[in-house]
Amino acid sequence: MGKHSRPGPPNQPSRAVPGLDADDRLAAYHKRRRPPLDVQRRHRPLHGGGGHLRPDEPRALEEWNGFSYEPAGTAANLADAVRWVNEQTSGDASAA
């Protein structure tokens, strides 16, 4: 039986991590500074629980600062929070 691949869900960022550069003395440091799953911005419900529950309630917005997620504000509902997260994501793609 041959090998198979399991690419994962299409709605999540790739979990592939670039290899360390042998010539870069700070490569391990730079690797530790990357946010989990390369998610720079995220939102969390203020009431706790799953992010998809109660879409009309407020959300806490968090942004990666290089070491941890820090509060960046609030959103009135799930749609506004998702719009805020995607705004940064699309802005990074055009700047690169």
Please provide residue 42's backbone torsions phi and psi, each rounded to the nearest 5 degrees.
-150, 165
Residue 95 is predicted with a pLDDT of: 44
Sheet (strand 69-75) strand order: 41-45, 59-64, 69-75
What tens digit of pLDDT does each residue of 76-91 get?
A: 999 999 999 998 666 5
Mean pLDDT by 10 residues, the chain (96 residues): 58 62 81 78 89 89 91 95 84 48
pTM score, whole prediction: 0.62
